[in-house]
Structure 1
Amino acid sequence: MRSEPDLEALRALMLIAQESSISAASGRLGVSQQAVSLRIRSLERSLGVRLLVRSARGSRLTPAGELVVGWARKLLEAADDFSDAVDSLRSDRARTMRIAASLTIAEYLLPEWIARWRARTDSSGPGIQLDAENSTAVAVAVREGTVDLGFIESPAVPADLGAVTIAHDTLAVVVQPGHRWAKSARITARELSDTSLVLREPGSGTRHAFEAALADTGCSPHASPVAVLSTTLGVRSAIMAGVAPGVLSSLAVAEDLRAGRLARVQVRGLTMTRPLTAIWAGASPSRHAHDFLDALA
């Protein structure tokens, strides 16, 4: 396996070519002449060719050294471009806090949370970039480091991530007002498990919490969903259109229940409460994420 070129040694060699002096090159690099000489000798051993001719009048490149400097120029320019890009990335990240949140939290809670945080920081904090995903995708984004902070609504919190419970939410079984369940005092968990419903997709916190709560009653879902939709709005619209009963966050249907567009169904022995959890990678959240969470306390 070939070794990678020593970029610092190549940079030193290029400066020696420009200055015709190891001393001048060492001054520009901010290191000792001995350190520069050692880098060049190491590079010569690595390449297997002599690169410099040293004399009392200075140092000059050998023909092989001239070739190496010519080839190294593009490589060093690319390395400088890479360093500039990384610096820009750090700067952008300092100006932006990236948050990923499950759909219910993103739609119904985060706008108020962001407003509270901005009021607390007097609008001096970084801007916020928000991605709305299901809870599983949020955990993946946090784990991969593409976001600084995540919010999920699943009962189970990934054990490899830091976490704190921010609030709690309840799920509601809802139907179109004309549905027969709307006229019932309550239904049984078994009747619910045997009914084809409109549900969110697997991986969503709502779907996970519903199935876990139903399983706790000993009535795991038996009927296949009549429809599986990837957004809260899609599930809500399908229920309202009379496609089938469904399960949604109480936050998502509160206005529809007040307006009579949907009816809530009581299920005997079924309690569907779930934590809303902030998650982050590492031992503690970043400084801005920590400040954001403090504003929610």
Structure 2
Amino acid sequence: MIDLDIRQLQSFLVVAQELNITRASARLHLSQQTLSTQIQQLERALGVTLLVRTSRGVLLTPAGDELGRGGSAVISDLGALTDRVRAADRGRLGTLRVACCPYATALFATEVADAMEAAVPGLEVELTTVRTPPEERDLLLTGAVDAAFMWLPLGDNRFQHAVVRGDRRAVALPAGHRLAEQDAVTLADLADEPVLRPDIYLSEENLCHWLADPRPDGTAAPRGPRQATIEDCLLAVARGKGVWLAPEPLSRWIPASTVEWRPVKDADVSELALVWTGQTSQPLIARMIAEVRAVTGWAAETD
């Protein structure tokens, strides 16, 4: 491949426009000797003669004429590429659409959106709220959003993810339940309690995590009846139909006067992740992961 010097090419294009070394050197703020040297170096690199001097200036050879026509396009394309590269570095890529369930992200979603827009000039972050993770999944798969905040595990290899937060688990108990007198409970305490299942789970793997199934001793978690929504699940808890395990932040945003929340000391931590597909801008995702972790305090090395 020929090693072309962009400055030499730019100088030649000015000469090709002016057809005069004196006028071209004045436009370029170069001495005539320096400009002539650049043209000679370009000719040596290409192995052709680009112009010939006359009493009135210079004339382009067929090779020079071809370079004059094609070189302008090269410089134009290079300038556009430079602009795109710099824009990508700043993240000027339009809009980043992010889906979230308010219960899971209410503590930080708007803060993250504001931080992204401040860190990436020209970017607009659109937050779309949905009620359940399956809705988030559908929006991702249809391309309606670029990313989503979702609880792991997903049990779906169509997505990529990065953990941005970890939360201990809590259990919703009926008011007056025998365990409500304790400050915290264990999974052994819940061994005989059927766990209710709102219709929000993405896969069997996802469901098993929320149920803490199997339990530490290898036994299966007792499965309670399915419920259409989280709200229906809490009503069923209040009526003594079972208990519900959830990440602790949800207990702060969906309280109920007839439900008692208690931390579960030995349940696995629930991890919240930023989730995306292969169609999403990777530089923007990388920047957003960093911004979310800065807000939540999650350490990347714990992934």
TM-score tier after normalising by the smaller chain length = 0.5 to 0.7
Find the counterpart in structure 1 of residue 123 from structure 2.
125
Find the counterpart in structure 2 of residue 209 from structure 1.
209
Does the 8 A contact of 2:100 with 2:150 survive in 1?
A: yes
- Equivalent position amino acid for 1:164 in 2: A
Find the counterpart in structure 1 of residue 187 from structure 2.
189
Aligned mates of 2:219, 2:119 — CA distance in 1? 46
Give the C-alpha shift of residue 251 in structure 1.
0.6
- Runs (4 or more) in structure 1 with deviation over 6 Å come to none
Q: Percent of aligned positions with the same letter in both sequences?
A: 15
Given the superposition, is the C-alpha separation of residues 176 and 119 from structure 1 closer, same or farther in structure 2, using an over 3 Å criterion?
farther
Find the counterpart in structure 1 of residue 104 from structure 2.
105
For each residue in 1:28-62, what CA deviation from the matched residue of structure 2 results, as whole angstroms up to 9, or x when unmatched?
xxxxxxxxxxxxxxxxxxxxxxxxxxxxxxxxxxx
Given the superposition, is the C-alpha separation of residues 283 and 145 from structure 1 closer, same or farther in structure 2, using an over 3 Å criterion?
closer
Does the 8 A contact of 1:173 with 1:248 survive in 2?
A: yes
Find the counterpart in structure 1 of residue 290 from structure 2.
294
Aligned mates of 1:119, 1:132 — CA distance in 2? 25
- Equivalent position amino acid for 1:151 in 2: F
Match of 2:224, SS state, is coil
For each residue in 1:125-155, what CA deviation from the matched residue of structure 2 results, as whole angstroms up to 9, or x when unmatched?
2240414253344334323323211221022
For structure 1, the residue ranges without an aligned partner over 5 or more in a row are: 1-93
Please list, as runs of the form range in 1=range in 2, the aligned pairs for 1:246-261 lying within 5 A after superposition.
246-254=244-252
For structure 2, the residue ranges without an aligned partner over 5 or more in a row are: 1-92, 294-303
For each residue in 1:184-206, what CA deviation from the matched residue of structure 2 results, as whole angstroms up to 9, or x when unmatched?
57666356343234432252597
Say if 2:158 is the partner of 1:164: no
- Equivalent position amino acid for 1:220 in 2: A
For each residue in 1:216-262, what CA deviation from the matched residue of structure 2 results, as whole angstroms up to 9, or x when unmatched?
5223233433x51423x5544554566643222211214788x9975
- Equivalent position amino acid for 2:115 in 1: R
**Corresponding residue pairs, total:** 198
For each residue in 1:85-105, what CA deviation from the matched residue of structure 2 results, as whole angstroms up to 9, or x when unmatched?
xxxxxxxxx643222234543
Does the 8 A contact of 1:149 with 1:285 survive in 2?
A: no
Aligned mates of 1:172, 1:191 — CA distance in 2? 13
- Equivalent position amino acid for 2:98 in 1: I
Does the 8 A contact of 1:135 with 1:154 survive in 2?
A: no
Find the counterpart in structure 2 of residue 146 from structure 1.
144
Does the 8 A contact of 1:96 with 1:129 survive in 2?
A: no
Does the 8 A contact of 2:98 with 2:125 survive in 1?
A: no
Given the superposition, is the C-alpha separation of residues 177 and 222 from structure 1 closer, same or farther in structure 2, using an over 3 Å criterion?
closer
Find the counterpart in structure 1 of residue 278 from structure 2.
282
Give the C-alpha shift of residue 295 in structure 1.
2.0
Does the 8 A contact of 1:97 with 1:148 survive in 2?
A: yes
Find the counterpart in structure 1 of residue 84 from structure 2.
none
CA-based RMSD: 3.7
Find the counterpart in structure 2 of residue 39 from structure 1.
none
- TM-score between the two structures when normalised by the length of structure 1: 0.52
- Equivalent position amino acid for 2:246 in 1: L
Does the 8 A contact of 1:98 with 1:130 survive in 2?
A: yes
Alignment partner for residue 272 of structure 1, among 250, 268, 289? 268
Does the 8 A contact of 2:195 with 2:222 survive in 1?
A: no
Which structure dedicates a bigger proportion of its chain to helix? 1
Aligned mates of 2:271, 2:126 — CA distance in 1? 23
Given the superposition, is the C-alpha separation of residues 228 and 103 from structure 1 closer, same or farther in structure 2, using an over 3 Å criterion?
farther
Aligned mates of 2:292, 2:279 — CA distance in 1? 20
Aligned mates of 1:208, 1:223 — CA distance in 2? 10
Does the 8 A contact of 1:210 with 1:272 survive in 2?
A: no
Match of 1:194, SS state, is coil
